[in-house]
């Protein structure tokens, strides 16, 4: 009974907000755009056809309709998410896309360039840290535990970026 009551309240509230044809058209258009964005992202990420959650709809609408992010960049964020976490997380992907967007990046080519610059800067910091540690004659235990993993990820990311840059721009998501 409680669920039915709240669902009924939602329907009444929605009906109160849509009190003319223009508002109804606007609401239908917005819902259609969200669903198109979801289907675009779902297809690019090879997610089996299913109904999207509210948060998935929100993120897809933001990326595709709000920020005009290219679907290839969404795929890139997905790949980074899976490589880092081993599972799909729209919230984690949103963090990646948000960082790119805040730097004016909406396409995968620019994202790969930024990733490469970040890897180079990280490598320079690592080399400077190693040089400093070499002078003192000791290695930080924090470095040996955490930076080794970062170094491996940076190398793999760099190889992937080179592979993507050398491709013709056609992405085969079947691999």
Q: Tell me, rounded to whole angstroms, the distance of Cα 64 from its chain centroid.
A: 12
pLDDT at 169: 46
Q: Where do runs of H (alpha helix) occur along 86-142? A: 90-102, 108-136, 141-142
Please list the pLDDT of the chain residue by residue as tens digits (175 residues): 677 777 776 766 676 777 788 888 888 899 999 999 999 999 999 999 999 999 999 999 999 999 999 999 999 999 999 999 999 999 999 999 999 999 999 999 999 999 999 999 999 999 988 888 766 555 555 555 556 666 677 777 777 666 666 654 444 434 4
Which pLDDT score, from 0 to 100, does residue 175 have? Answer: 42
DSSP character at residue 167: S
Question: CB burial class (10 A; 0-12, 13-18, 19+) of residue 115?
Answer: buried
Predicted TM-score of the model (pTM): 0.64
Helices and strands (H, E) in the chain, number of each type? 8, 0
Structure tokens at 9: 């309240």
Which tokens go with 51? Answer: 């109904």
Residue with token string 């964020």: 77
């Amino acid at each position: 009974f409680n669920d039915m009551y709240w669902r009924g309240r939602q329907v009444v509230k929605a009906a109160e907000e849509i009190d003319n044809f223009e508002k109804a058209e606007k609401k239908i258009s917005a819902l259609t755009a969200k669903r198109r964005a979801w289907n675009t992202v779902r297809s690019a990420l090879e997610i089996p056809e299913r109904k999207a959650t509210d948060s998935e709809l929100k993120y897809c609408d933001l990326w595709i309709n709000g920020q005009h992010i290219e679907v290839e960049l969404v795929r890139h964020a997905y790949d980074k998410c899976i490589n880092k976490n081993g599972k799909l997380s729209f919230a984690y992907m949103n963090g990646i896309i948000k960082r790119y967007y805040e730097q004016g990046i909406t396409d995968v080519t620019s994202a790969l360039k930024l990733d490469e610059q970040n890897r180079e800067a990280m490598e320079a910091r690592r080399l400077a840290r190693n040089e400093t540690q070499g002078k003192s004659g000791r290695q930080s235990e924090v470095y040996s535990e955490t930076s080794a993993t970062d170094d491996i990820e940076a190398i793999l990311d760099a190889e992937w970026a080179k592979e993507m840059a050398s491709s013709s721009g056609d992405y085969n998501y079947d691999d």
